[in-house]
Amino acid sequence: MSASNGTSLNVKAFIKKYTMVIALVVVFIFFSFLTEGRLMLAQNVSNLLLQNSYVLVMACGMLLCILTGGNVDLSVGASLCLSAALAAKLLQIGAPALVAILASLLVGALIGIWQGYLIGYIHIPPFICTLAGMFLFRGLGRVILDSRTISVSNETFLNLFTSYIQIPGLDENKHCVSALIIGIVVAIAVAVIMLMSRVRQKKNGYETGSLAAAIAKLVVIDALIIAYTYKLMNYKGVPVMLLWILVVVLIFAFITSSTVFGRYFYAVGGNEKATKLSGIDPRRVYFWAYFLMSFLAGLSGLLMVARIGSVDGNMGQSYEMDAIASCFIGGASAYGGSGTVPGIMVGALLLGVINQGMSIYGLSDMWQYVVKGAVLLLAVVFDVVSNHKTGKS
Amino acid sequence: MADYILEMKNITKLYPGVKALDDVNLQVERGEIHALVGENGAGKSTLMNVLSGTIPHGQYTGEIIYNGEECTFNNIHDSEKLGIVIIHQELALIPELTIAENMFLGNERKNSIGKIDWNKTHKEASEQMRRVGLKEKSTVLIKDIGTGKQQLVEIAKALSKNVKLLILDEPTSSLNEEDSKMLLDMLLGFKKEGLTSIIITHKLNEVAYCADKITVLRDGATIETMDNPTHDIDEERIIKGMVGRELTNRFPAREHHVSDEVMLEAKDWTVYHPVYTEKCVDKKVSFHVKKGEIVGFSGLQGAGRTELAMSLFGKSYGSHITGQEFIKGKEVHLKNEHDAIAHGLAYATEDRKVNGLVLEDSIAWNTTMARMEKISNRGIIDVQKENKYAAEFVDAMKTKTPSIQQAVGNLSGGNQQKVLLSKWMFAEPDILILDEPTRGIDVGAKYEIYCIMNEMVAAGKAVVMISSELPELLGMCDRIYVMNEGEIVAEFEAKEATQEKIMGAILSSDKKVQEEANA
């Protein structure tokens, strides 16, 4: 085989592996031009993640559901509304912030136990069970709200989710040096972790990829982190909500990539019968997928009520679809068994960039739906065609 | 010269790594009942799939001459157009539809604007049902009638297609004696009307009863065609054709490792079907395996061997399971598969693609799946440890793969089987139940798997080997149980067992059942 052939293969493999990342970059550049750079303003960069906090968080749970075999949870938008409504109502009647938070998380957990039990142990098809949940929890949310909009004014509560990290003396509103410092520290930490794992792999005689590729990857990641925090520096600093999102995403990335528990989701989605015969109880796996999903919906309710500042009966409508779309755009298989947290984060960001880019550009709502639909379809068609995955053999 | 309705000449069909059919010839005379016999995997069903167009023209080599013309079928519709209809062992009926709807499925009786003509449908359905002696209304749902009647619906459906050559794949495997006889008599009746039939069956008494000619297939090749003009052919004669091959170094030399310690024992183990809970699949089965012993289970498909193994493996099959299970002399009550693995039991399935492996996952992931405790610490997977184990097993099993990260779905059957065995070896069991461990893999890979089995027993494990291939049971086992219709009907030491004795045991128990039914 000639060298040029080898290179072209490498390029092909690279494109295949990072298709969505490349798409994200292309879309971002495209909208930056279209909006004459407004997409890259510090405020917009900062808001990109915050606006999509619920998608980023719920996509993690949705990934688990989808991994078990392409199953989705339709109820999460409604669960989010119920959790948000409960928190707002409790705060309205004067309950402390902590009580409201715990109550909302508890409701998320209870919904999770309910649906996880029905789906895992009673074998109710997930689609139907969560469709029922969608009506049920939406209705309960409205009952709590009594068809009104409740706004939240509890400072402690709002600060816990929507404030920015600002160090007095060091930071000013338009120039928060702390953000950049945090960014540099994280960038160094990432470099150290990557280096150490590489050294450990070498020591144990485990195969490592090419050094150049590893360095290139590290440089890109660190540059992104520093560039991002630089933007944050110019707009109020590091938002607390970013930390909430990061905690969830990192935990779920760790669970799915590095734990036995996470491996179960892939196994069940890949071949449930073989998994069962390997001594793994698929019922438990389904239970946990839907439990964690609903719990995250509860958490997202808190994030959203804090960000918006009020709750009405329509809050969270079609949020489930955003979470589902992120997963499929991010490379989760529609038949289960494959998909990664970093992948779906890219999917969620891609959707987020498209949304925000279109909003800034001033494209009307209806066209935004058309574009979203087209992107989702394109991503899944690409996935199916490139991997020759089919539902039937 | 004989009037052949069908001649299949030099049919060869290759699957990756396996020669399913090797230069097969089959000649069927007009108006006869022709039986196709052979062991599991001899190529009978493959041959019929070639004939019906399920395996399309171009994917095999050779000629099909039907009514004097060469045929190139691309799908099942092409062959049905000419009156060749195949009825598969697993009935292709839709339970939620009526008899009439099923009968004309894909072939609906329509009026000029394309609306289904229900009057015509039910009238024609009733006519065909009368021909096969099915006394039901054509509006009854398939799920509400028994298997025997469903079989009749299939035949009526074939008749409605104006069948000239009817192929029946194991038509009586799920029928009782009475229904079987009725079905065969009906075929004999149709023969008088000029219908030609090819019947695939394991039940040699049925062959003798109804077939005019018998073609024996073995290892994908035609062995011989026998005449049976007076319908009294000696069954022993057919068996000899089916199994009569020489055993020459197809098995690695074995040392004797059997110790006295009994590793696994079942007493009066009785299992019922998980869905049809009144159907008993294993009746009071008792057996044992000793340390260092390979014990074989012989029998036909549906004899209850897989069901026995899976029900012992943490109740992964069946309902109303009764009886006692002992592991290393202690009675155990295994709750589930995890419990079974924890007690040192392993069950390597007969169907590696459906029940054994996660095809889209890597060799490494599949290898460690049944015992991830070994590669994890507090639930966190040590990927490097996992890869190290996987690489060791790939080496030890001589699995041919570019990398341990390869998805097992991309491997050949033999290599997939090695990954399946790796998975269960990795779980460090004391007792391994291997269900058809060499099914669908080539001779070379078979030999390697036999070597692996020998290593298992040399390492002090007990092995239960379920196989439908008599030669490999004789070549590998220390002791052989013979099962039929859910019961153990014979037990042989390897020294005294022969293929004829085993087949004989199955057939004589069949007769016994038959006599009991008649009495």
- Domains of chain B, by residue range, sit at 4-243, 254-344+429-519, 356-428
SS3 (DSSP) at B479: strand
Amino acid at residue number A195: L
Nearest Cα of chain B lies from the Cα of A133 at a distance, in angstroms, of 29
Average pLDDT, integer, range A92-97 = 94
Q: Of the given ranges (A166-170, A191-195, B68-72, B333-337), which has the lowest mean pLDDT?
A: A166-170
φ, ψ of residue B57 in degrees (nearest 5)? -55, 135
Which residue bears the tokens 């016994």? B512
Domain ranges, ordered by start, for chain A: 27-165+239-385, 167-235
Does the pLDDT value for residue A212 go beyond 90?
Answer: no
Residue B425 has pLDDT above 50, yes or no: yes
Q: How far is A382 from chain B (nearest CA, A)?
A: 18
Interface test with B, best of A203, A277, A389 (most B CBs within 10 A): A277
Residue B156: pLDDT over 60: yes
In this prediction the ipTM stands at: 0.87
**CATH number 3.40.50.720 given to B254-344+429-519:** no
Q: How far is CA A7 from CA A4, A10, A11, A337, in A?
A: 5, 5, 6, 31
Contact (CB, 8 A) for B513 and B507: no
**Size of chain B in residues:** 519
Interface of A with B in 267-286 (CB under 8 A): 267, 270-271, 273-281
User: Is A337 an 8 Å CB contact of chain B?
Assistant: yes
Q: How near does any CA of chain B get to the CA of A233, in Å?
A: 36
Q: Which residue has the higher pLDDT, B275 or B294?
A: B294
Write down the pLDDT at residue B244.
65
How many percent of chain A have pLDDT more than 70? 95
Query: How distant is the alpha carbon of residue A6 from its chain centre?
Result: 36
At residue B224, does pLDDT exceed 90?
no
Q: Do B354 and A280 touch (CB under 8 A)?
A: no
Distance from the Cα of residue B395 to its chain's centroid: 31
Band of pLDDT at residue A393, cut at 50, 70 and 90: very low
Looking at residues B59-76, what average pLDDT do you find? 90
Q: How confident is the model at residue B518 (pLDDT cuts 50, 70, 90)?
A: low
Indicate if the pLDDT at residue A348 is higher than 70: yes
Measured on CA atoms in the order B46, B51, B52, B54, is the torsion positive or negative? positive
**Where does the pLDDT of residue B503 fall: very low under 50, low under 70, confident under 90, or very high at 90 and above?**
confident
Note every long-range contact of A32-37, with CB atoms under 8 Å and residues 24 or more positions apart, other chains counting: A34/A357, A34/A361, A35/A357, A35/A360, A35/A361
Determine the pLDDT at residue A389.
Answer: 46
Helix (H, G, I), strand (E, B) or coil at B24: strand
Distances (CA, A) of B412 to B279, B352, B415: 37, 12, 5
Comparing B499 with B324, the larger pLDDT belongs to B324
Which of A239-248, A254-263, B240-249, B477-486 has the weakest average pLDDT?
Answer: B240-249
Q: Per-residue pLDDT for B251 more than 50? A: yes
Long-range contacts of A99-103 (CB under 8 A, 24+ apart): A100/A154, A100/A157, A101/A157, A101/A160, A101/A302
Over range A236-250, report the average pLDDT. 94
* pLDDT the model gives residue B455: 92
Rounded to an integer, the average pLDDT of B202-220 is: 87
Whole-angstrom distance, CA of residue A58 vs CA of residue A293: 7
- The pLDDT of residue B447: 84
Answer for the pair B441, B449: CB distance below 8 angstroms, yes or no. yes
Sequence-distant (≥ 6) Cβ neighbours of residue B356 within 8 angstroms: A274, A277, B348, B349, B416, B420, B423
For residue A269, the chain B residue with the least C-alpha distance is B358
Structure confidence at residue B112 as a pLDDT band (50, 70, 90): confident
Long-range contacts of B511-516 (CB under 8 A, 24+ apart): B511/B205, B513/B177, B513/B485, B514/B177, B514/B205
Give the confidence band of B351 by pLDDT, cuts at 50, 70, 90: confident
B308 against B249, higher pLDDT:
B308
Q: How confident is the model at residue A4 (pLDDT cuts 50, 70, 90)?
A: very low
Output the pLDDT for position A2.
Answer: 40
Q: Is A379's pLDDT higher than 50?
A: yes
Minimum Cα–Cα distance from A257: chain B residue: B381
The whole-number pLDDT of residue B255 equals 78
Judge if B4-243 and B254-344+429-519 fold alike in CATH terms: yes
Please tell me the least confidently modeled range out of A172-176, A238-242, B374-378. A172-176
Label residue A390 by pLDDT band (50, 70, 90). very low
Average pLDDT over residues B326-341: 95
At residue B10 the predicted structure's pLDDT band, cuts being 50, 70 and 90, is: very high
Q: In the 8-state DSSP scheme, what is residue B229?
A: T
**Structurally, what CATH architecture does the domain formed by A27-165+239-385 represent?**
Orthogonal Bundle (1.10)
A273 vs B313, B354, B360: nearest CB: B354
Q: Give chain B's mean pLDDT.
A: 88
Long-range (24+ apart) CB contacts under 8 A made by A250-256 are A252/A60, A252/A61, A252/A63, A252/A64, A252/A341, A253/A340, A253/A341, A253/A342, A256/A63, A256/A64, A256/A67, A256/A340, A256/A341
Structural element, H or E, at residue B9 = strand B4-15
**So what's the architecture of B4-243 in CATH?**
3-Layer(aba) Sandwich (3.40)
Distance CA A58, CA A245 (A): 10
User: How far from B78 is each of A140, A321, B31, B52, B410, CA to CA, in Å?
Assistant: 59, 45, 22, 8, 32
Q: Which residue has the higher pLDDT, B368 or B444?
A: B368
Judging contacts by C-beta atoms under 8 Å, the chain A residues touching residue B387 are 206
Please give the pLDDT value at position A185: 94
User: Residue A219 to residues A16, A187, A366: CA-CA distances in angstroms?
Assistant: 21, 9, 39
Q: What is the 3-state secondary structure (H, E, C) of B263-297?
A: EEEEEEEEEECCCCCCCEEEEEEEEEEECCCEEEE
Instruction: Report yes or no: A384 at the B interface, CB cutoff 8 Å.
Output: no
pLDDT band at B41 (very low <50, low <70, confident <90, very high): low
Quick check: B517 pLDDT over 70?
Answer: no
How confident is the model at residue B245, as a pLDDT? 52
Would the pLDDT of A391 be above 60? no
Reading the block at residue B489, the tokens are 């009907």
Smallest Cα distance from A267 to chain B, Å: 7
Instruction: Please give the pLDDT value at position B365.
Output: 96
Q: Which helix (H) or strand (E) holds A60?
A: helix A53-67
Q: What percent of chain B has pLDDT over 70?
A: 95
Q: Which residues, other chains included, contact B496 with Cβ-Cβ below 8 Å and sequence gap of 6+?
A: none
Phi and psi at A236, nearest 5°, equal 70, -15
Q: Is the pLDDT of residue A260 over 80?
A: yes
